[in-house]
Amino acid sequence: MADRNHHPYSIDVRPCWRRPGRFVCSIVEKGEPRRYGAQSYATFDEARRAAQTRLRQLVFEWQLVGS
């Protein structure tokens, strides 16, 4: 059984290769391929905040499944 104390997700924010000067983010689940969202952000912090918001949703859902 998976360790229910640590969620299996991580955030990755990096420069957008399609739009220089912008950033993209992804949330990766252990063992799954990395996929970046179609949306780009003006700053690193903006992309990080968007990813953190989605991460909170995923962790909440992950906790419900484990209950």
* Residue pLDDT, tens place only, 4-63: 678 899 999 999 999 999 999 999 888 786 777 789 999 999 999 999 999 999 899 988
Give kind and range of the element (H or E) at residue 48: helix 44-66
CA distance 28 to 24: 13
pTM of the prediction? 0.78
Radius of gyration of the chain (CA): 13
CA distance 48 to 41: 9
Map residue 20 onto helix, strand or coil.
coil
Q: Phi and psi dihedrals of 54, rounded to 5?
A: -65, -40
